[in-house]
Amino acid sequence: MRFSICNKNWGLGSLLAMILLLAGQMAFGQSSKDLKAKERDLLKKIENTRSLILEAKKSQDLTLTQLAVLNRQILYREELINNIEYQKRKLDDLIQDNKKSIAVLENEIVYLKSEYAKLVRYAYKMRNTDYKLMYIFSAGSLNQAYQRLKFIQDYAEFRKRQVQLIQRRQEELKVENENLAQRLVEKSNLMVNATKAKNEFVDDVALQKKSLAKLQKNESKLRSELKAQEKKRQKVARAIKRAIEREMAKAKKSSKGFVITPEMKLAASGFKGNKGRLPWPLVRGEITAKYGQHPHKTLPGIMIDNRGVDISTSPGATVRAIYKGSVVKVLIISGAGKVVIVEHGTYRSVYSNLAEVYVKKGDKVNTKEDLGVLLKTKDNISELHFEIWNTSASGANPDNPENWIYSK
* Residues, the chain: 408
**What pLDDT is attached to residue 347?**
93
| Identity of the residue numbered 191 | M
DSSP structure class, residue 407: P
What are the phi and psi torsion angles at 384 (to 5°)? -90, 125
Distance CA(42)–CA(20), nearest Å, equals 33
Q: What residues does 399 pair with on adjacent strands?
A: 388
Average pLDDT, rounded, for the chain = 78
Tell me the mean pLDDT in the region 5-21: 49
Q: What residues does 370 pair with on adjacent strands?
A: 320
Crossing angle for the helix pair 142-217 and 129-137, nearest 10 degrees? 100
Distance CA(105)–CA(61), nearest Å, equals 66
The model's pLDDT over 206-253, given as tens digits with 9 standing for 90+, comes to: 887 787 777 667 667 777 777 777 777 788 888 888 888 887 777 666
| 3-class state of residue 365 by DSSP | strand
Question: Between 295 and 6, whose confidence is greater?
Answer: 295
Distance CA(146)–CA(49), nearest Å, equals 83
356 Cα distance to chain centroid: 34
Strand 303-306 to 292-295 pairing:
antiparallel
Domains and CATH numbers, the chain: 8-215 (1.20.1270), 221-403 (2.70.70.10)
Strand 309-313 to 318-320 pairing:
unpaired
**What pLDDT is attached to residue 395?**
79
Question: Between 365 and 9, whose confidence is greater?
Answer: 365
**What pLDDT is attached to residue 167?**
78
DSSP structure class, residue 2: -
Residue 7, by phi and psi: left (phi above 0), alpha (psi -120 to 50) or beta?
Answer: left
Is the pTM higher than 0.85? no
**What pLDDT is attached to residue 229?**
76
113 Cα distance to chain centroid: 48
The model's pLDDT over 124-159, given as tens digits with 9 standing for 90+, comes to: 665 555 555 555 556 677 777 677 667 666 666 666
Distance CA(18)–CA(22), nearest Å, equals 6
Distance CA(28)–CA(36), nearest Å, equals 12
**What pLDDT is attached to residue 3?**
41
Share of the chain above pLDDT 70, in %: 77
Distance CA(122)–CA(128), nearest Å, equals 11
The model's pLDDT over 71-115, given as tens digits with 9 standing for 90+, comes to: 888 888 888 888 888 888 888 887 888 788 778 878 877 877 777
| 3-class state of residue 392 by DSSP | strand
Instruction: Tell me, letter by letter, the H, E, C secondary structure of 192-205.
Output: HHHHHHHHHHHHHH
376 in Cβ contact with 316 (< 8 Å) = yes
**What pLDDT is attached to residue 4?**
44
